């Protein structure tokens, strides 16, 4: 496999966030002057290390996530950007922002630095839902932030929305979608709450009480509604106007290569996969976790799993050309079974999920992992 032919993305995790939302399980901490300096110094070290590792290769996408990068001052945003190599091959640079920490001045700084895409964590416009999620923002702050984003000149904007907890109010969710579409962003991400052990009231035990039929109703309603509004449904939870798919995420779903800087950031590079430690001190000491050497078969499985979460599906011929030693024949029976159950469509050597299959993408992933 020619590694030079793969797309390369850079993810920078900014762990600082002034708002500790109840549902969020990403690594985050409150910023202070000392810890910010330590963070930026360490990012400088990571940048230098990876500059030597990748040699002449270029990053095609950059994504700053968190936490909330918009917690950083204008000066710190400029410092962080100085560590990110950029050339003519860069196709997309996304920065996540929060309505209650972004300012017009910070957006002007990001625009001047060359950022091409803003992703704003709206989650909801409804005060009650925001309260239940532990969000310390108002709908008015979101509208103001969105106006600033457009005034500064950003023409590629994503809004993140989260289904109401326990799927109790479809009408309320519809109103969130109507409001979001009225703002006219180029991209929308609509997520189901992730129930993790460290997310306060939103734990796996709470998830057991969720009605899966209601959950499916929310997904299907969202898919229909946004399609009617001119948004292309291109991944289970992602929608875009034509030409505005998130290139960084597409790179990941296609199992290309990416490098992660910052605590908890993950990397997949040169047939290795690993993650930086979630602990700030351990990360600064270069501690890694979940390290694995990748085989063609492992990547083949991952391409199937993540490719089937996209509405385009997977081209089996292209996949076999990329991984000639992967045992594709082992999966034939599974494809036939899933097709019989109306979960999969197989045509012209391409497989893709039916709408019913997309609802069960996680279960299909487990079936793929079980193939030996």
Q: Are strands 350-353 and 344-347 parallel, antiparallel or unpaired?
A: antiparallel
Give the residues across from 232 on adjacent strands: 240
SS3 232: strand
Cα separation of 78 and 218, whole Å?
A: 40
**Residue 195 neighbours by CB under 8 Å, 6+ apart:** 202, 203, 204, 206, 207
**Residue 121 neighbours by CB under 8 Å, 6+ apart:** 68, 96, 97, 98, 99, 160
Structural domains in the chain plus CATH codes: 3-251 (3.20.20.70), 297-372 (1.10.10.920)
Contact at 8 Å (CB) between 277 and 289?
yes
Cα separation of 12 and 66, whole Å?
A: 8
DSSP H/E element including 133 = helix 127-133
Q: Are strands 232-235 and 238-240 parallel, antiparallel or unpaired?
A: antiparallel
C-alpha distances in Å from residue 118, one per residue of 92, 111, 139: 10, 10, 18
Cα separation of 355 and 39, whole Å?
A: 43
Reported residue count of the chain is 372
Rounded to a whole number of angstroms, the distance between the first and last alpha carbons of the chain is 22
Entry pTM: 0.92
pLDDT tens digits in sequence order for the chain, 372 residues long:
555 579 999 999 999 986 655 545 445 566 788 999 999 999 999 999 999 999 999 999 999 999 999 999 999 999 999 999 999 999 999 999 999 999 999 999 999 999 999 999 999 999 999 998 888 899 999 999 999 999 999 999 999 999 988 787 899 999 999 999 999 999 999 998 865 554 454 455 554 556 788 999 999 999 999 999 999 999 999 999 999 999 999 999 999 999 999 999 999 999 999 999 999 999 999 999 999 999 999 999 999 999 999 999 999 999 999 999 999 999 999 999 999 999 999 998 999 999 999 999 999 999 999 998
CB-based burial, 260-274: b 16+ in 10 Å, e otherwise: bbbbbbbbbbeeebb
């Amino acid at each position: 496999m020619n590694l030079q032919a793969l797309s390369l993305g850079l993810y920078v995790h900014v762990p600082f966030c002034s708002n500790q939302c109840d549902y969020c399980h990403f690594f985050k901490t409150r910023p202070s002057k000392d810890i910010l300096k330590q963070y930026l110094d360490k990012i400088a070290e990571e940048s230098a290390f990876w500059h030597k590792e990748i040699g002449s290769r270029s990053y095609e996408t950059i994504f700053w996530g968190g936490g909330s990068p918009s917690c950083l001052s204008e000066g710190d945003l400029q410092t962080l950007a100085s560590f990110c190599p950029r050339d003519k091959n860069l196709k997309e640079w996304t920065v996540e922002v929060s309505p209650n920490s972004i300012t017009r001045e910070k957006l002007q700084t990001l625009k001047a630095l060359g950022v091409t895409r803003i992703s704003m964590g709206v989650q909801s416009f409804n005060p009650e839902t925001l309260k239940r999620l532990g969000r310390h923002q108002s709908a008015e702050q979101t509208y103001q932030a969105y106006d600033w984003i457009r005034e500064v000149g950003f023409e590629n904007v994503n809004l993140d929305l989260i289904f109401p907890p326990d799927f109790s109010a479809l009408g309320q969710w519809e109103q969130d979608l109507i409001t979001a579409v009225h703002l006219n962003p180029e991209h929308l991400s609509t997520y189901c709450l992730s129930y993790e052990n460290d997310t306060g009231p939103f734990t796996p035990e709470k998830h057991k009480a969720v009605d899966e039929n209601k959950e499916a109703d929310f997904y299907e309603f969202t898919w229909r509604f946004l399609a009617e509004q001119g948004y292309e449904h291109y991944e289970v939870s992602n929608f875009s106007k034509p030409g505005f798919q998130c290139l960084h995420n597409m790179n990941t779903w296609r199992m290309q290569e990416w490098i992660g800087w910052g605590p908890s950031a993950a990397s997949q590079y040169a047939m290795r996969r690993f993650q930086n430690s979630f602990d700030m001190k351990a990360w600064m000491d270069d501690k890694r976790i979940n390290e694995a050497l990748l085989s063609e078969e492992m990547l083949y499985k991952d391409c199937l799993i993540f490719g089937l979460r996209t509405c385009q599906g997977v081209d089996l011929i292209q996949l076999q050309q990329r991984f000639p030693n992967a045992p594709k024949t082992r999966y034939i029976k599974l494809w036939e079974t899933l097709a019989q159950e109306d979960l999969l469509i197989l045509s012209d050597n391409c497989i893709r999920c039916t709408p019913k299959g997309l609802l069960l993408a996680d279960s299909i992933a487990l079936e793929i992992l079980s193939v030996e």
